[in-house]
């Protein structure tokens, strides 16, 4: 069906498509205000609320664009916040405590709480290591054991060693990690956790695969 000519389209990030897509402006409301200071000085502000619907997946988001006469430019916020990452599909197929922690990490990522996300990711790796190779002491020994058991490649091990130190710096030295670093850390952590899901998939596949004829 052709779109009516009056329909307004804007290109913004879609949380489901995970990229910028065309969105239909469903509704828009403006709230303005001003205040007088003395005889000849006035400050004013304007909030524009725009409800936007993705033309591809129909996900709906609300944007608030705020303008204040004493500040240059606009402040833009989205509800729910814009996300660049989605929870893996296998998140419910891993042990319950790991799955619950992963969900909390995503809640932190989606509210831009990078430090909380890194602390959570560090705990998640520790949880996995303790279950797979036992509590052998420090992270370095446990990672070495994971490498030997084939859960990690050498590159992943090196990266995790540095990333876990980032987690330590966040917890104990107030370090604020960059979003890219946290994303990379999540890639490796999820790669590790996927072993749980793959284990189940291997067993299922074995059950349904007909045996070879002798
Ligand atoms: Zn979309």
Give the pLDDT score at 57: 96
> Which of 50, 79, 108 represents a domain boundary (last residue)?
79
Give the pLDDT score at 3: 53
Residues 117 and 202 in one domain: yes
Measured in Å, residue 20 CA sits from the centre of ligand 1 at 8
Measured in Å, residue 19 CA sits from the centre of ligand 1 at 8
Give residue-wise pLDDT tens across range 189-205.
998 898 888 888 888 88
SS3 21: strand
Give the pLDDT score at 74: 92
181 occurs within a structural domain: yes
Measured in Å, residue 85 CA sits from the centre of ligand 1 at 13
160 occurs within a structural domain: yes
Give the pLDDT score at 64: 97
Residues 106 and 185 in one domain: yes
Give the pLDDT score at 23: 97
Instruction: Tell me how many domains the chain contains.
Output: 2
Give the pLDDT score at 159: 85
Measured in Å, residue 82 CA sits from the centre of ligand 1 at 12
Give the pLDDT score at 45: 96
Q: pLDDT below 50 — which residues of the chain?
A: none
Q: 139-149 and 154-173 are packed helices; what angle lies between their axes, rounded to 10 degrees?
A: 160
Residues 75 and 93 in one domain: no
Distances (CA, A) of 183 to 68, 81, 121, 142, 210: 33, 16, 11, 23, 40
> Which of 79, 103, 124 represents a domain boundary (last residue)?
79
Closest CA to 34 of 44, 49, 24, 23: 44
Residues 131 and 58 in one domain: no
Give the pLDDT score at 69: 92
Give the pLDDT score at 76: 94
Placement of tokens 């284990």 in the chain: 199
How far, in Å, CA of 11 to CA of 54, rounded?
9
Residues 41 and 132 in one domain: no
Measured in degrees and rounded to the nearest 5, phi and psi for residue 44 equal -145, 160
Q: Residue 126 is part of which domain span?
A: 89-208
Placement of tokens 């670093």 in the chain: 181
């Amino acid at each position: 069906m052709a779109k009516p000519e009056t329909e307004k389209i804007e290109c913004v990030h879609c949380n489901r498509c995970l990229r910028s897509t065309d969105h239909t402006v469903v509704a828009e409301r403006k709230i303005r205000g001003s205040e007088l200071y003395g005889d000849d000085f006035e400050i004013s502000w304007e909030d524009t609320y725009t409800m936007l619907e993705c033309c591809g997946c129909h996900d709906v988001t609300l944007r608030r664009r705020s303008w204040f006469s004493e500040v240059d430019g606009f402040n833009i916020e989205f509800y729910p916040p814009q996300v660049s990452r989605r929870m893996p599909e296998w998140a419910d197929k891993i042990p319950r405590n790991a799955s619950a922690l992963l969900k909390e990490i995503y809640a932190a990522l989606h509210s831009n709480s990078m430090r909380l996300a890194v602390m959570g990711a560090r705990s998640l790796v520790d949880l996995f290591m303790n279950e797979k190779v036992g509590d052998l002491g420090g992270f370095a020994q446990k990672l070495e054991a994971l490498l030997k058991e084939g859960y990690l490649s050498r590159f992943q091990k090196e990266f995790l060693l540095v990333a876990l130190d980032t987690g330590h710096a966040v917890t104990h030295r107030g370090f604020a990690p960059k979003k890219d670093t946290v994303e990379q850390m999540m890639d490796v952590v999820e790669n590790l956790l996927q072993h749980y899901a793959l284990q189940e998939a291997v067993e299922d596949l074995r059950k349904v695969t007909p045996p070879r004829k002798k």
